[in-house]
Amino acid sequence: MLSIHVATDRGLQRVPDAGALTDLPTDAVWIDLLNPTSEEEALLERWLTIDVPSREEMREIEISSRLFEEDGALYMTVVALLNADGENPTLTDVTFILVGGRLVTVRYAEPRPITLFLQRAPKIGPACQYADFVLVGLIEAFIDRIADVLEHAGLDADRIGDDVFLRESSKPIKTDDFKKTVARIARTGDLTSKARESLVTISRLLTFMSAGPGSVKLSKDVKLHLKTAVRDANQLADHATYLATKTEFLLDATMGLINIEQTNIIKIFSVAAVAMMPPTLIASIYGMNFQFMPELNEKWAYPMVLVVMIASALAPYFYFKRKGWL
């Protein structure tokens, strides 16, 4: 889908039926390509004389393939979070192209920062007539989104820590509870790692733009916004590293509790086995088929043997209890 946004006194306004245009409007500032068709790519390449990157080219991990200048146009690709509030957060590539005073975005998904930016684009002010300002606004929206994601991840980590370390019940934790806890920790860690990966690509883009590559000149206001964005991205990266460390600690602590619970279970079986050894020995003695066993003919023999067996089973139990092993 091809979307064209032109500058007005109040903000950006979307041009209806942009795909049916034969010429690019002169006041167009932002051209957005969402799941573009080959016809839309060819139309944009004819308008701006650029090479629209394919989805495979956008996935290249080398910095030289993500941040470069070609024929007076800046190509910058970042990784954005998708479905951060769902059960399976993923990543998607978004390419920004600055060329001839216009911004082009190429994407194959709908990250929330772009959706939110589109909602407030009509009211962002007259500075929207500059493509670099729109680009910085989009990057700031991505950073704000990651900040929210990391904030929620931190709250989830705190709740997990409370569930793990502040249990009031003295009952052993069930296996299903352990599974749920480990799954929550894994999701928090996965979300944090993906947010950090996105931040790394955004930081690279900001550093690339701050260096003033090629013939693209940035205004003073945009440079100030870039400095703020770089500082915010670096601080969020540090916070993401802290959350990753905290998540790893929670996972280690949970696995330690699992080992303790397993040890307690094995200990119970061991004590039970030891406690049953003397009664088993006594029962096996009187179960032997010898002809001459004097006690067999006595009336008190059977109850006496039962009492001895019970006493021999209770003695190890109370001994272990006194030692604090139970």
Which CATH number belongs to the domain containing residue 214 in this structure? Answer: 3.30.460.20
User: Residues 201, 66: contact at Cβ < 8 Å?
Assistant: yes
Mean pLDDT of 225-242: 89
Q: Whole-prediction pTM value?
A: 0.77
* Highest mean pLDDT out of 22-31, 59-68, 234-243, 305-314: 234-243
The 8-class DSSP code of residue 134 comes to: H
If one compares 277 and 172, the residue with the highest pLDDT of the two is 277
Check whether 167 has a pLDDT greater than 70: no
Structure tokens given for 77: 């690709």
Count of Cβ atoms closer than 10 Å to residue 247 Cβ: 25
Final residue of a domain: which of 237, 261, 285?
261
Count structural domains, the chain: 2
Tell whether 77 and 117 lie within a shared domain.
yes
pLDDT tens sequence across 89-115: 899 999 999 888 888 999 999 899 988
Mean pLDDT of 269-283: 81
The 8-class DSSP code of residue 172 comes to: P
Final residue of a domain: which of 261, 277, 303?
261
pLDDT tens sequence across 170-200: 555 566 677 888 888 888 889 999 999 999 9
What is the structure's pLDDT at 175? 63
Tell whether 63 and 205 lie within a shared domain.
yes
Tell whether 123 and 13 lie within a shared domain.
yes
Tell whether 161 and 294 lie within a shared domain.
no
Check whether 290 has a pLDDT greater than 80: no
Tell whether 216 and 161 lie within a shared domain.
yes
Check whether 322 has a pLDDT greater than 70: yes
Tell whether 74 and 206 lie within a shared domain.
yes
Count of Cβ atoms closer than 10 Å to residue 218 Cβ: 20
Count of Cβ atoms closer than 10 Å to residue 110 Cβ: 14
| Maximal C-alpha separation, the chain | 117
Tell whether 201 and 289 lie within a shared domain.
no
pLDDT tens sequence across 35-60: 888 888 888 888 888 888 888 888 87
If one compares 265 and 7, the residue with the highest pLDDT of the two is 7
Tell whether 150 and 168 lie within a shared domain.
yes
By C-alpha distance, which of 76, 107, 99 is closest to 204? 76
Which domain does 17 fall in, by range?
A: 2-261
What is the structure's pLDDT at 106? 92
What is the structure's pLDDT at 102? 87
Tell whether 32 and 77 lie within a shared domain.
yes
Tell whether 220 and 270 lie within a shared domain.
no
Tell whether 226 and 314 lie within a shared domain.
no
Tell whether 202 and 284 lie within a shared domain.
no
What angle, 0 to 180 degrees and rounded to 10, lies between the N-to-C axes of helices 301-323 and 220-286? 150
Nearby residues of 55 by Cβ (< 8 Å), 6 or more positions away: 93, 108
Structure tokens given for 275: 């406690």
DSSP for 225-293, please give it.
HHHHHHHHHHHHHHHHHHHHHHHHHHHHHHHHHHHHHHHHHHHHHHHHHHHHHHHHHHHHHHTS--S--
Final residue of a domain: which of 261, 279, 306?
261
Nearby residues of 100 by Cβ (< 8 Å), 6 or more positions away: 48, 72, 73
Structure tokens given for 156: 């989830």
